[in-house]
A and B are shown apart, each in its own frame.
Chain A
Amino acid sequence: MKGNFIDNLPKVYGIYTGGFLGFIIIMSICEQMGMTAKTIGICFVAFTVAIYAIIGYLSRTAQADAYYVAGRQVPTVFNGMATAADWMSGASFVAMAGGIYFKGYGYMALLVGWTGGYVLVASLLAPYLRKFGCYTVPDFIGTRYGGNLSRFLAVVVLTVASFTYVTAQINATGTIASVALDIPFQYAVYVGLVSILLCSMLGGMRGVTWTQVAQYIVLIIAYLLPVFWISNKMGAGFFPHFMLADEVARIGELEQQFGFVKNAAADLKTVPKGLAGITKAHSAVNATPWAFISLALAMMMGTASLPHVMMRYFTTPSVKAARKSVGWSLFFIFLLYSSAPMLATLSKLSLIDPTLSTGIIGKSIAEVQAIDWYQNWNQANLMFVSDFNGNGTLELNEFFMGGKAVVLATPEIAGLPYVISGLVAAGGMAAAMSTADGLILAIANAISHDVYYKIIDPKAETAKRLVVARVLLVVIGFAGATIAALEIQGILGSVIWAFDFAMSGLFFPLVLGVWWKRANKEGACAGMALGLLSGLGYLIWVRNGGSGFLGITQLTFGIFGSAVSLVAMVVVSLMTSEPSAATQRMVDEVRVPSGKSILGKQH
C-alpha cells in the first residue's frame, strides 16, 4: 500500500489541486449568491486546515525512520515542493512584496540571498549529508566529529536559530487566523498552533512532508492567481514577469514628479505604529554595494546552515536525488520570489498613478477617506492618510501603509472579488504553517534524537523515543506560541536573525566536516561555541547603541560570527591532533555516493 502511494503521488496531488481549484470556483459562486466576506474567509482557512489535518492523520507512523526522515522515499520533485513550502515562510508570503514596495533595491538583496544559498546547499552539503544517513543535523556533527559535546553544541545552535524563527511563524499563523476567523490574537495564536501540531504530531517528518506538498500547492496558487489577475485587469500585460518594464519606468517618472518629501518628526508621530510611507526609489539602486552584498551573503550562508531546510534532503531515496531535489526546490521557490517584485510594482502603480481609476495620490483627502477599501484597511490598522500640509489633496508623503497590506489589500484595491482575499488568507496560513512545522520538528527531533536518545538513554526503545519526540513537539510548540503571544518582534526582524545565528554557529562546522579532513572535534566545538557567542555578542552590542564595524549591522551579524567560527575552528583544529584514521575513512566514504550510508537505516 505504501509503495502504491508513492507511485500514485502525481495522481493524488493532481486530484487535490483540481479539488482545490473546484473549491475556489464554488466559493466564487457562493460570493455571487451573497455569501458574506467573513464566511468566505472562514471557509477558506477551515477547509484547507482540515485537509492538512487529514493528511497528517493518514501519515501517522510508529517507525523511527518514517518519523525522522519520512522513510527516505520522497521523490525529487515532491521533495522540492515540500522544501519550497518549508522554506517560504509567512514572511516570504505576506511581507516580502511589502518590503520590496517600501525599500526597493536594498531589500531585494534578500531575494538574491534566499535563492543563492541553495547553490551552496546543493554543491557543499546536501548530497554529502544524505550519504551520511543522519536523522538530524546534530547527528552529522556528533558522528563526524565524535563526542557528546560537539553533538550538544550543534543542538544548542540549532535550537537558538530555529526557535528565533518559529515564534515569527506562529505569530503569522495567529495574525491570519485572527483576521480570517475574527477572534482575538491571543487565542488565534493557539488555534494556529493546534493546526500546526495536527500536521506533524502523528506522522513526524512523513506527515510534515505530505502536508507541506499540499501547502505548497495552496500557497503558490494563492500568490500567482492574484498577480496575473491584477496585471490583466490593469492592462499591464497578460504575463506580468516579462511585461512590466513600462510600469516600472512609469513609477520612476511619478517618483520624479512627486519627489520624496521628508515629513516633519511631529507629523510622523501621528502615523500609527508599523505603517510606512514610500520614501525610496522603486527600481533605482538605493544602497551601497557592500550593504547589498553583505545582506545577500549573510542570507546565503544562513540558508546553507538552517537545519529545517537541510533535513528535507535527508528524505530523498538517494544522493543523486538529493542533488536534483535542491534544484527543484529552488525552481518552486523561484516561482513565488520572481512574482513578489511584480506584485509590488502593480500594487504601487495602482495606488500612486493619478491617471488610473484606483490611484489615490492627487485626489482630495475627503474623497480617499470615503473609499470602502480604505476604510476597511484603515480599520485593520494597515492604511493611513493625513493632510500634513493642509492643502486638502493627498500627496505621496501623506499616504502610509503596512508592509502586509501589499499582499493582503492589493486584490481588493484592484477590484478583485473577495474570494481572492479569502484565497490569499489560506495561502498565508499555508506558508506560515508549513515553515512552523518544519522548524518545530527540527528542534524536537534534535532534542529527542540527539540529546535524549544519543546522550541520555541510548538503550531507549523506538516506541519510547517516539513518545519523547512527540511530547517535545508539543512543549516546543507551546513555548513558541506563548512567546509569539507576547508580540515582541516584527515578523521579519526575527526571521533574519535566525539566518545569522545559524550561519554563526553551523556553517563552517558543517562545510568543513565534509571538505576538510583535518577538521577535528576540538576545532568544531570551538567553532560552534565561539561563532554563536561572538555573533550573539555583536548583536547585543549593536542593539545597545554600539557602532559596529565594517558596516556589519544587526541584520548581518552572522558575517562576524561565522568569521570568528572559521578562524577558531581552523586554529584549534591545527593545534590539536588530527582525527583518527577511522574518522578519516568515514569522510572518504561520505565523499562518494555509492556504498552504504555511514549510519544505518534504523539508528
Chain B
Amino acid sequence: MSKQEQHWEKTRGLLMITLAIWFVFSIGIFLFGAEMNEVTGPFGYPWTYWFTCQGSLGIFVILIFWFANRQEKIDEEFGFSEREED
C-alpha cells in the first residue's frame, strides 16, 4: 500500500471516530431526551436541558480542536503537512 493510501486510511479512521462522537451528542442522546431530563445534571440543570444549552455545543467545540490536532499528527506522520512558509 502506498504512503498516500495509508495516509487516507488513517484519515478515514479519524473521520469515523469524529462522526461517531458527533452522532452521539447531536442525535443519539436526544432519543432519550424525556428520560434524561428527569435527572439533575451539571450546575443543577436537568440533563437534557443542559445538553441543549451548553453541553452538546461545548463538546462540538472541543471535538473540532481535538480532530484538527489528530489530523495534523496524521499529516506529519506521513510527511504531508504543509511547509511553514505560508
Interface string of A314-353 (1 = CB under 8 A from B): 0001111001101100110010011001100000000000
Contact A327 B43 (CB under 8 A): no
CB distance from A523 to the nearest CB of B (A): 21
Interface string of A294-323 (1 = CB under 8 A from B): 001100100000000000000001111001
Q: State in angstroms the CA–CA spacing of A326 and B64 once bound together.
A: 7
Contact B64 A327 (CB under 8 A): yes
Interface membership of B77, Cβ < 8 A: no
Residue from A246, A285, A591 within 8 A of B34 (CB atoms): A285
* Given contact pairs A112-B26, A245-B44, A318-B86, A327 touches B65 in the complex (Cβ within 8 A): yes
Contact A592 B80 (CB under 8 A): yes
Contact A115 B33 (CB under 8 A): no
Q: State in angstroms the CA–CA spacing of A249 and B45 once bound together.
A: 8
* Given contact pairs A120-B22, A292-B33, A320-B82, A591 touches B49 in the complex (Cβ within 8 A): no
Contact A119 B60 (CB under 8 A): yes
Q: State in angstroms the CA–CA spacing of A591 and B71 once bound together.
A: 12
Number of interface residues of A (CB under 8 A): 54
Interface membership of A580, Cβ < 8 A: no
Residue from B67, B72, B75, B82 within 8 A of A122 (CB atoms): B67
Q: State in angstroms the CA–CA spacing of A330 and B60 once bound together.
A: 8
* CB within 8 Å of B: which A106-127 residues: 108-109, 111-113, 115-116, 118-120, 122-124, 127
Interface membership of A549, Cβ < 8 A: no
Interface membership of B39, Cβ < 8 A: no
CB distance from A433 to the nearest CB of B (A): 25
CB distance from A267 to the nearest CB of B (A): 31
Interface membership of A454, Cβ < 8 A: no
Interface membership of A468, Cβ < 8 A: no
Q: State in angstroms the CA–CA spacing of A127 and B71 once bound together.
A: 10
Residue from B8, B61, B83 within 8 A of A331 (CB atoms): B61
Give every chain A residue within 8 A of B57 (Cβ-Cβ): 111-112, 115, 334, 337-338
CB distance from B84 to the nearest CB of A (A): 9
Interface string of B54-86 (1 = CB under 8 A from A): 101110110111011001100100111111001
Interface membership of A224, Cβ < 8 A: no
* Given contact pairs A242-B43, A594-B80, A119 touches B54 in the complex (Cβ within 8 A): no
Q: State in angstroms the CA–CA spacing of A296 and B28 once bound together.
A: 12
Q: State in angstroms the CA–CA spacing of A241 and B50 once bound together.
A: 10
Residue from A243, A289, A326 within 8 A of B30 (CB atoms): A289
* Given contact pairs A108-B52, A119-B22, A318-B86, A289 touches B33 in the complex (Cβ within 8 A): yes
Give every chain A residue within 8 A of B71 (Cβ-Cβ): 127, 323
Give every chain B residue within 8 A of A592 (Cβ-Cβ): 4, 7, 75, 78, 80
* Given contact pairs A116-B26, A123-B19, A283-B46, A593 touches B80 in the complex (Cβ within 8 A): yes
CB distance from B46 to the nearest CB of A (A): 6
* Given contact pairs A122-B68, A292-B33, A116 touches B60 in the complex (Cβ within 8 A): yes
Give every chain A residue within 8 A of B19 (Cβ-Cβ): 119, 123
Give every chain B residue within 8 A of A550 (Cβ-Cβ): none
Contact A593 B53 (CB under 8 A): no
Contact A334 B61 (CB under 8 A): yes
Q: State in angstroms the CA–CA spacing of A176 and B68 once bound together.
A: 39
Contact A248 B22 (CB under 8 A): no
CB distance from A596 to the nearest CB of B (A): 11
Give every chain B residue within 8 A of A285 (Cβ-Cβ): 33-34, 37, 48
Give every chain B residue within 8 A of A242 (Cβ-Cβ): 43
CB distance from B74 to the nearest CB of A (A): 10
Interface membership of A507, Cβ < 8 A: no
Contact B34 A593 (CB under 8 A): no
Interface membership of A165, Cβ < 8 A: no
Q: Can you name the residue of chain A whose Cβ is closest to the Cβ of B86?
A: A317
CB distance from A85 to the nearest CB of B (A): 17
Residue from A284, A324, A588 within 8 A of B65 (CB atoms): A324
Give every chain A residue within 8 A of B63 (Cβ-Cβ): 119
Q: State in angstroms the CA–CA spacing of A292 and B32 once bound together.
A: 11
Q: State in angstroms the CA–CA spacing of A127 and B70 once bound together.
A: 14
Q: Can you name the residue of chain B whose Cβ is closest to the Cβ of A112?
A: B56
Q: State in angstroms the CA–CA spacing of A592 and B10 once bound together.
A: 12
Q: Can you name the residue of chain A whose Cβ is closest to the Cβ of B57?
A: A115
Q: Can you name the residue of chain B whose Cβ is closest to the Cβ of A239?
A: B43
* CB within 8 Å of B: which A247-289 residues: 248-249, 283-285, 287, 289
Q: Can you name the residue of chain A whose Cβ is closest to the Cβ of B12?
A: A515
Interface membership of B31, Cβ < 8 A: yes
Contact A318 B30 (CB under 8 A): no
CB distance from A21 to the nearest CB of B (A): 26
Q: Can you name the residue of chain B whose Cβ is closest to the Cβ of A131?
A: B82
CB distance from A241 to the nearest CB of B (A): 7
Contact B64 A243 (CB under 8 A): no
Contact B15 A593 (CB under 8 A): no
Contact A296 B30 (CB under 8 A): yes
Interface string of A348-361 (1 = CB under 8 A from B): 00000000000000
Interface membership of A185, Cβ < 8 A: no
Contact A593 B30 (CB under 8 A): no
Contact A124 B61 (CB under 8 A): no
Q: State in angstroms the CA–CA spacing of A297 and B26 once bound together.
A: 8
Give every chain A residue within 8 A of B31 (Cβ-Cβ): 289, 293
Q: Can you name the residue of chain B whose Cβ is closest to the Cβ of A113?
A: B26
CB distance from A593 to the nearest CB of B (A): 5
Q: Most A CB atoms within 10 A — which of B4, B8, B51, B65? A: B65
Residue from B8, B37, B45, B56 within 8 A of A284 (CB atoms): B37
Contact B18 A108 (CB under 8 A): no
Give every chain B residue within 8 A of A318 (Cβ-Cβ): 82, 86
* Given contact pairs A119-B64, A300-B26, A593 touches B48 in the complex (Cβ within 8 A): no
Q: What are 19 inter-chain pairs, A to B, with CB distance below 8 A? A: A109-B30, A112-B30, A112-B56, A115-B56, A122-B64, A123-B15, A127-B71, A244-B45, A245-B44, A283-B37, A285-B37, A292-B33, A293-B30, A296-B30, A324-B65, A326-B68, A327-B64, A592-B80, A593-B80
The 7 closest A-B pairs by CB, nearest first: A245-B44, A116-B26, A108-B52, A323-B68, A327-B64, A341-B53, A592-B80
Chain A residues engaging chain B, CB cutoff 8 angstroms: 72, 105, 108-109, 111-113, 115-116, 118-120, 122-124, 127, 241-246, 248-249, 283-285, 287, 289, 292-293, 296-297, 300, 317-320, 323-324, 326-327, 330-331, 334, 337-338, 341-342, 588, 591-594
